[in-house]
Chain A
Amino acid sequence: MGQHLVGNHIRKLRFNHDEMTQQQLADKAGVTRQTIVALEKGNYSPSLELAFRIARAFGLSLEEVFFYGEE
């Protein structure tokens, strides 16, 4: 598929938040586990709204969870 320029630290952040499971994060963000899997693999760039919901689930700002381009 196309190159996704929006990257994220979701996997690392889950680990740092008491090894939160993908399902737990999905429940907090209001999406399915499949979507968290796709985000972690870099197969999907979330909508702005979902990005905010995921950042809020970790109690962090958007930039601490997502980045644009290479990092």
Chain B
Amino acid sequence: MTYQEKKSIVSILSTILITAGYWAYMYPQRPGGGLESAETFRYWGSFVLVLTVISIAAHIVISIAFNIVYRISTGEKEPGFADELDKIIELKSHRNSFLVFILGFMAAMASLVIGQPSQLMFVILIAAGFAADVTGSASKLYHYRRGV
């Protein structure tokens, strides 16, 4: 298995771990009371913002750790640049990731249209972000293994 394939797998696993860990920590702290209270909106707003920051920081740390482990275990240096195949795969994975997020976004808006609580809209949006991230990494893995 090549560096890019291993990195895609690590990216999928780290996304699942980060999101699941953060969700397990934060979700029990959701405010009670009225579903549409200002506190509820503040909670979900901070949930998304903090998750974004933590996710970026954790991905950077995990990526550095992965590169160190890869160098030690294989004796090879990771590629320091993206060539034409990398760029094509990046584009395809972004397209798939974007499509999944847009579908989630539409579902979130539809939940409001049919009169569901705004809390559900936030949950769908976060789930769509998670699914989009996993789809992007899975697309990369697929194209690196099966070609473009």
Chain A residues proximal to chain B, CB less than 8 Å = 1, 4, 23, 30-35, 37-38, 41-44, 46-47, 50
- The answer to whether B83 touches A35 (Cβ under 8 A) is yes
Residues of A within 8 Å of B84, CB to CB, are 31, 35, 46-47, 50
Task: Number of B interface residues at 8 Å Cβ cutoff, please give it.
Answer: 16
Is B146 on the interface with A (CB-CB < 8 A)? yes
- The answer to whether A32 touches B79 (Cβ under 8 A) is yes
- The answer to whether A37 touches B2 (Cβ under 8 A) is yes
CA distance in complex: A32, B4 (Å): 10
Is B144 on the interface with A (CB-CB < 8 A)? yes
| Closest chain A CB from B13 CB (angstroms) | 20
Residues of A within 8 Å of B72, CB to CB, are none
Residues of A within 8 Å of B85, CB to CB, are 31-32, 34-35, 38, 44
**Given A32-B79, A34-B4, A42-B147, 9 further pairs, Cβ under 8 A:** A31-B84, A32-B4, A33-B2, A34-B85, A35-B84, A35-B86, A38-B85, A44-B147, A50-B84
CA distance in complex: A33, B6 (Å): 14
* Cβ-neighbour of B146 out of A1, A30, A32, A50 (below 8 A): A1
Pairs across A and B, CB under 8 Å, 20 listed: A1-B143, A1-B148, A23-B76, A31-B84, A31-B85, A32-B4, A32-B79, A32-B81, A32-B85, A33-B79, A34-B3, A34-B4, A34-B79, A34-B144, A37-B2, A43-B146, A43-B147, A43-B148, A46-B84, A47-B84
